[in-house]
Amino acid sequence: MRSVDQQLALVTQAAVSPEPVRIAIADAMGLMCAEEVQAAKALPGFAQAAIDGYAVRAVDVGGERSLHHQQRRRGEGGGEGDGDAARNNGGTQERSSRQHAAAPQKSLPVVGEVPAGSQQPLRLQPKQAVRVHTGAPLPTLADAVLPLEWSDRGQKRVMPTRPVRSGAFVRRAGDDIQPGDVAVTPGSVLGPAHIGLLAAVGRSKVLVYPRPRMSVLSVGSELVDIDREPGLGQVFDVNSYALAAAGREAGADVHRVGIAAGEPRRIREIIEGQMLRSEIIVVSGAVGGSGNENIRKVLADLGEIDTTRVAMHPGSVQGFGLLGDERIPVFLLPSNPVSSLVIFEIFIRPVIRLALGKRHAARRVVRARALNPLESRPGRRGYIRARLMRDAETQDYLVEGLGGASGAPAHLLAGLGDANAMIRIPEDVTHIRPGDVVEVIFLSQTA
């Protein structure tokens, strides 16, 4: 009997990323970048206002004078004109400016207005102001923006109530990115910030490793699709739907073949067809019974197939192999839905995540106190579906075993539907008592 770790090492060696493709950045979220993306232009490409206010020369609004008399009159904290936006955008440089400059005593004429997106250049003359909106290009000669909150908000003339220093509330050209800077490095898994950077440097497409294509099919004479009424001895094809959903959640591009029925020759043709379109093939119902011997022979004709027992429960009986010249990984799963989903979680999901370039193929594992007694088979690693929660007072993790707990059936799918985690019990542990600390694998982030 092979250990879980041995089987996992065997299957993850087969994880290979598909050849890179160039796709629209809108479709690249979660994929691994396959190229270095450099900025061709500065970002921002021009000096712009970082806040609504007035474009000015700092020297014209008291930016060079002493604050000594102002501090005695108004205190270090500033005057009543402070606004949240000005405090957030001014930062340290404005606190510094208030220590070296005095509030101006004269109003400035407002000689124009520049909205965001304006393509009409303006030139500021000494002792003038121009009304600007956030993101608007800064007029020539202006070196600062006076926030609205630091003025009387005048329309024809504006009276500053505070000084600003040169460069205050201005986004200079190239502050974010300079030409030639690397915006996205190869190997980065593209998240929202990466997509934003690609858009910011003008890239509409990017070279990525695409989602691995996974084909899912079920075999078994007892299976009918869900649009038919099962007769005596027949059951719905649950696995192809459940495993296809699990593959999509893991990040694969899934094709659900459904039920592969007919003579072994016909089944072989179906599988050969999927080998042309897949990086991973999952066959449910191909192990665990003598009736599946023909299926295993068909697969053996197409490549290397290894059917074995793994020291785990549920899902001990399973198979893995490599098909065709391209050595396509194929997983053979039992017909029981719970066993199949557990095998998928432990072995197939990591292969998909590695093919996507994820640094951490496995899910997060935490330690939690068990709330009910649990049992596991000796010599096998147990995976018991569970509900993970937090103690409201201590914030400790607590876990309640569901299907597979002491006295509960291990094969029922309903328990897995209620679960947001799986308890992982070591091979040398057979009993868990309430209060014992156990390892828990997150299945979702609802806890």
Region of 233 (left: φ > 0; alpha: ψ -120 to 50; beta: rest) is left
SS3 for the chain, per residue?
A: CECHHHHHHHHHCCCCCCCCEEEEHHHCCCCEECCCEECCCCECCCCEECCCEEEECHHHHCCCCCCHHHHHHHCCCCCCCCCHHHHHHHHHHHHHHCCCCCCCCCCEEEEEEECCCCCCCCECCCCCEEEECCCCECCECCCEEEEHHHECCCCCEECECCCCCCCCCEECCCCCECCCCEEECCCCECCHHHHHHHHHCCCCEEEEECCCEEEEEECCCCEECCCCCCCCCCEECCHHHHHHHHHHHHCCEEEEEEECCCCHHHHHHHHHHHHCCCCEEEEECCCCCHHHHHHHHHHHHHEEEEEEEECEECCCEEEEEEECCCCEEEEEECCCHHHHHHHHHHHHHHHHHHHCCCCCCCCCEEEEEECCCEECCCCCEEEEEEEEEECCCCCCEEEEECCCECCCCCCCHHHHHHCCEEEEECCCCCEECCCCEEEEEECCCCC
What is the rounded CA–CA span in Å between residue 386 and residue 310?
22
Give pLDDT, residue 90: 46
The pLDDT profile of the chain, 447 residues, written as one tens digit per residue, is 999 999 999 999 988 878 899 999 999 998 989 999 988 787 777 888 999 999 999 988 876 543 333 333 444 344 444 444 444 444 444 444 444 444 455 889 999 899 988 887 788 889 999 999 998 899 988 999 999 989 998 889 999 988 889 889 998 877 777 888 888 999 888 999 999 989 988 899 999 999 999 999 999 888 999 999 888 988 999 999 999 999 999 999 999 999 988 778 888 899 999 999 999 999 998 887 655 777 778 888 898 888 899 999 999 999 999 999 989 999 999 999 999 999 999 999 999 998 887 777 889 999 999 999 999 999 999 999 999 999 988 999 999 998 655 445 555 566 567 789 999 999 999 999 999 999 999 987 543
CA distances from 363 to 83, 103, 245, 310, 347 (A): 45, 58, 17, 20, 12
What is the rounded CA–CA span in Å between residue 132 and residue 300?
73
**Interacting residues of 413 by C-beta distance below 8 A, sequence separation 6+:** 238, 337, 338
Give pLDDT, residue 101: 45
- Sheet (strand 303-309) strand order: 253-259, 213-218, 280-284, 328-333, 317-323, 303-309
Give pLDDT, residue 67: 36
Closest of 160, 162, 158, 127 to residue 142, by C-alpha: 127
Neighbours of 59 (CB within 10 A): 18
- Cβ 79 vs Cβ 147: under 8 Å: no
Give pLDDT, residue 43: 75
Structural domains of the chain ordered from first start: 4-18+211-356 (3.40.980.10), 21-43+176-209 (3.90.105.10), 44-63+106-175 (2.170.190.11), 365-442 (2.40.340.10)
Give pLDDT, residue 200: 86
Closest of 395, 292, 376, 392 to residue 335, by C-alpha: 292
Give pLDDT, residue 133: 93
Model-level pTM greater than 0.75? no
Give pLDDT, residue 233: 87
What is the rounded CA–CA span in Å between residue 23 and residue 204?
8
